[in-house]
């Protein structure tokens, strides 16, 4: 049985469109104009227990709206969803004790209290025994390297330390499903790496089902084998991350290294492919996938090539092209 099962999920917002100026405000008192905004349109997917899935899309694509519906914070306009066998927006207490939602730009810890006291409050809410709380906090703070920050007021923590404490608070009750919305946003490179390694290890040990949104492709590449891409409220791709390149990247990068400076007119070089980078003795071309072999043969025959390297286009560039095309 899938841990998360979504079918035809749709969410439409009705917003008041105010006319400009004082006269427009007066007209709004008598007759209001509304417009419909479709945030999520007919979204369907399934996630198996223990999967760690990336949920990708540009700003405004519908990612956060989908997560909020799966967490029971929003009621859908249409469609259905079941998480761990529960309908999220029915807000059954048995369901709320088995999932967690972490929004990278929202705080759940008390700003003026030490992180330890906020964690103890959460433990009381979930009915977690003190022994279990102490064991979990010791384990998670050790893994995230923030044990010495437990008695520091949340407002005095750095962004990275606060994010780690928020993550610990989300995992206190050992949820079976974890929704993560931009968990590494704004963090420095070291903190991002620490959070990624922690999530990978936690998923491996606890078999927690994780749905992760992120604009940092390093998060997705290091953590997720499967990705779901959503744009303008509609899913455009659902499958292995490696298939994204095969399906959407129509080019490969061909880099040649020559002995000495390459003396060749630009017009002739352009016939091999688009020049991405050029340095003395080295040129990188963007070549259509079906032309890679003949282009490589021509380069070897016509230029003093000492080495040749063929690579896929970076996944960041592929995703950027998908969003731009959308």
Q: Residue 236: which CATH number? A: 3.40.50.300
CB 228 within 8 A of CB 4: no
* Inter-CA distances, 44 with 8, 47, 98, 176, 184, Å: 5, 10, 22, 21, 26
Q: What is the pLDDT of residue 137?
A: 92
Both 172 and 260 in one domain: the answer is no
For Cα atoms 197, 200, 205, give the angle at the middle one, nearest 5 degrees.
Answer: 120
Report the DSSP beta bridge partners of residue 35. 15
For Cα atoms 130, 3, 214, give the angle at the middle one, nearest 5 degrees.
Answer: 85
Both 173 and 186 in one domain: the answer is yes
- Among residues 246, 265, 281, the one where a domain terminates is 246
Give the count of domains, the chain: 2
- Among residues 217, 246, 275, the one where a domain terminates is 246
User: What DSSP string runs through 104-147?
Assistant: TT---S-TTSBHHHHHHHHHHHHT--HHHHHHHHHHHHHHHT-G
User: What DSSP string runs through 285-309?
Assistant: EEEEGGGHHHHHHHHHHHS-EEEEE
CB 2 within 8 A of CB 47: yes
Both 284 and 168 in one domain: the answer is no
Both 10 and 45 in one domain: the answer is yes
- Among residues 199, 229, 246, the one where a domain terminates is 246
Q: What is the pLDDT of residue 324?
A: 67
Both 254 and 284 in one domain: the answer is yes
Average pLDDT per run of 10 along the chain, which is 326 residues long?
94 82 73 83 95 89 92 94 95 92 82 90 90 92 89 89 90 93 83 89 92 86 90 89 81 86 74 86 88 90 87 77 66
Q: In terms of residue numbers, what domain contains 259?
A: 250-325
Using CA atoms of 198, 201, 203, 204 in order, give the dihedral in degrees to the nearest 10: 180
> pLDDT of 211-246, one tens digit each?
999 888 888 888 999 999 998 889 988 999 888 877
Q: What is the pLDDT of residue 69?
A: 95
Both 162 and 73 in one domain: the answer is yes
Both 205 and 74 in one domain: the answer is yes
- In 172-303, alpha helices (H): 189-206, 217-223, 241-248, 266-269, 292-302
Give the integer Cα–Cα distance in Å for 223 and 195: 11
Both 161 and 264 in one domain: the answer is no
Both 263 and 286 in one domain: the answer is yes
Helix H or strand E encompassing 25: helix 21-30
Report the DSSP beta bridge partners of residue 240. 226
Q: What is the pLDDT of residue 135?
A: 92
Both 321 and 191 in one domain: the answer is no
Both 135 and 234 in one domain: the answer is yes
Both 292 and 198 in one domain: the answer is no
Q: What is the pLDDT of residue 109?
A: 86
CATH number at residue 268: 3.30.70
């Amino acid at each position: 049985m899938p841990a998360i099962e979504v079918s035809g999920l749709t969410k439409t917002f009705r917003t008041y469109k105010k006319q400009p100026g004082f006269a427009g405000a007066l007209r709004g008192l008598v007759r209001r104009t509304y417009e419909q905004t479709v945030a999520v349109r007919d979204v369907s997917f399934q996630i198996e227990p223990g999967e760690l899935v990336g949920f990708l899309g540009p700003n405004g694509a519908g990612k956060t709206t989908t997560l909020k519906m799966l967490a029971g914070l929003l009621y859908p306009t249409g469609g259905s969803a079941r998480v761990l066998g529960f309908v999220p927006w029915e807000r059954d207490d048995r369901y709320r004790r088995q999932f967690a939602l972490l929004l990278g730009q929202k705080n759940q810890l008390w700003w003026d209290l030490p992180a330890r006291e906020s964690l103890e409050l959460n433990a009381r809410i979930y009915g977690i025994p003190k022994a279990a709380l102490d064991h979990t906090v010791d384990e998670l703070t050790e893994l995230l390297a923030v044990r010495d920050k437990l008695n520091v007021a949340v407002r005095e923590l750095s962004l990275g330390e606060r994010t780690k404490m928020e993550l610990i608070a989300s995992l206190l009750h050992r949820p079976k499903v974890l929704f993560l919305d931009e968990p590494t946003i704004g963090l420095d490179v070291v903190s991002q790496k620490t959070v990624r390694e922690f999530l990978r290890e936690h998923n491996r040990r606890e078999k927690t089902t994780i749905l992760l949104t992120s604009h940092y492709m390093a998060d997705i590449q290091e953590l997720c084998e499967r990705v779901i891409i959503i744009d303008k409220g509609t899913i455009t791709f659902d499958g292995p991350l490696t298939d994204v390149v095969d399906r959407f990247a129509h080019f490969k990068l061909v880099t040649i290294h020559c002995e000495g400076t390459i003396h060749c007119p630009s017009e002739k070089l352009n016939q091999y492919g688009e020049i991405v980078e050029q340095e003395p003795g080295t040129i990188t071309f963007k070549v259509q996938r079906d032309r890679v072999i003949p282009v490589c043969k021509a380069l070897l025959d016509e230029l003093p090539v000492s080495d040749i390297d063929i690579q896929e286009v970076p996944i960041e560039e592929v995703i950027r092209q998908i969003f731009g095309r959308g």
